Amino acid sequence: MSSNPSQTLSFHDLKRHNNDRDCWVAVHSKIYDVTNYLNSHPGGSSIILRYAGNDATAAYTEIHAPGIIEEALSPDCYKGLLDQAEVVNLPSEQKEENKTIEKTTGQSTSTETYTKPELFKLISTQDFENVARDTLTPKAWAFYSSAATDLVTHHGNSNIYRRIMLRPRVMRNVEKVETRRSILGCPSSAPFFISPAAMARLAHPDGELALARGCASEGLIQVISNNASYPLASVLEAGCTNQPFFFQLYVNADRPKTTQLLHKARELGVKAIFVTVDAHVPGKREADERIAAENVSSAISGAVASNDKKGGGMGRLMGQYIDRTLSWDDIPWIQETSRLPVVVKGIQSAADAKKAVEYGVQGIMLSNHGGRSLDTVQPSMLTLLELHRICPEIFQQCDIYVDGGVTRGTDILKALSLGATAVGIGRPFLYSLCYGQEGVEHLSQILKDELETSMRLAGITDIEQAGPGLVNTRDVDSLVPSSEKHDWIRWRPKAKM
């Protein structure tokens, strides 16, 4: 039959296109011809064919963010509107299928009753984590909270802050304090930003949109994940006029896709690229692997989570598109392609920090992927101290960012005192999404208040005054290498890196 995009079609019309040679589906009352898309769908054709000639809204909504289908299909694939009367009165077998989907992907299998506390009762990042543990689906919680193997680095990231002491000054006028800082030329109300964190929609239907709106309200910067659950354009549109956004890049093994993505990021107004270099392959996150993957996919990278013989780890299964050949020689290509400031995210040694400067990047991010990649690597704050000991000149050559384990205002102040330009915070903001945009704003205000209180009690009124005299690092100084080589082992491997 011929189609007119403005026409209304009956459910009977839809049902006629129900096989792999002629496949139509309805999503949010719009009917699409997806026949030519079956073989290119990141999740495979079988899931689409289950709904061939049917209303696929329920299944689509649980996996995808709104708008993805329009981005994936050409305009001529849209065939018209499904008769609204028939949307309300779906056939009985279609109604039952929707009910089954709801049953199998419900929020929790627990029989215990949990009442989420009112937002104003949460006063720390730990409170948000506690709520997330009891609110998210078991798989979403495992994906967000898990880290590599024995969690040594994951715990070390936060523990290191407890071993660095503050040395406050007293009897100073601290009535007014200034926390604003420029990050890569962009104004921020505080010296912290939202680190890239994948699939925020697992925590709240608005996902990255809520993060963007919260940042707009609080004057903060969001680094959008390459594995975000919403299209890049949708996230930027959710913000306000002139709101700065950065974009985290995983280089795709299909390089033309990365080229296209970088061009798109620039055209949309992204202000900087954070290229992740510490996850050529995902780490073994056992808590994530033990729970079967839900059918989720990224709106930007197209990565899809499923299951295999190793388990159901969403991080591993969604990271298979990442280019394992990525090397330092690719940095100029990323700079030239994006024509944006580039930050190398995942630096874990002074040697690589110096290498990054040689390639002319605007910044480096000391990060171990939140302990999610290689376990037992040193905490990012130890890497920060390593830079001071081995290459102190680097603090005048590029911006230095730190993430991993930041949960308190005192943590932010300690990182700033040791030369960090700003810190990134990831998991706590994912947890805050259990309350949507209001949760993002409330967490931001908690961190700002803690930072301001810490500054006043330390005797400073501007974050530009934070310096090494404000901290005592002696408890961890013995852990900081004095050179790029081992201090006393002289054995060398036969092959060079």
Supply the residues annotated as catalytic.
250, 278, 369
Contact present, 383 and 352 (Cβ < 8 Å) = no
Residues in CB range of 119: below 8 A, 6 or more apart: 435, 438, 439, 442
Which residue in 455, 427, 429 sits closest to 442, CA to CA? 429
Residues in CB range of 93: below 8 A, 6 or more apart: none
Q: How many CA atoms lie within 13 A of 415 on its CB side?
A: 34
SS3 241: coil
Residue 110 backbone zone (phi > 0: left; psi -120 to 50: alpha; other: beta): beta
Contact present, 372 and 285 (Cβ < 8 Å) = yes
Q: Please give the Cα distance from 368 to 347 (Å, whole number).
A: 8
Give the pair of three-digit tokens for residue 315. Answer: 């991080």
SS3 476: helix
Q: How many CA atoms lie within 13 A of 204 on its CB side?
A: 19
Q: Please give the Cα distance from 69 to 60 (Å, whole number).
A: 9
- Amino acid residing at 93: E
Contact present, 195 and 211 (Cβ < 8 Å) = no
Euclidean distance between the first and the last CA atom of the chain, given in angstroms as a whole number: 63
Q: Please give the Cα distance from 24 to 44 (Å, whole number).
A: 16
Please, what is the Cα angle at 379 between 376 and 380, to 5 degrees?
135
Residues in CB range of 48: below 8 A, 6 or more apart: 23, 25, 34, 37, 38, 41, 56
Residues in CB range of 124: below 8 A, 6 or more apart: 407, 408, 446
Q: Please give the Cα distance from 275 to 364 (Å, whole number).
A: 10
What would you report as the CA-atom Rg of the chain, rounded to the nearest whole angstrom?
24
Residues in CB range of 302: below 8 A, 6 or more apart: 42, 321
Helix 436-458, helix 125-135: angle, nearest 10: 160
Please, what is the Cα angle at 233 between 232 and 234, to 5 degrees?
90
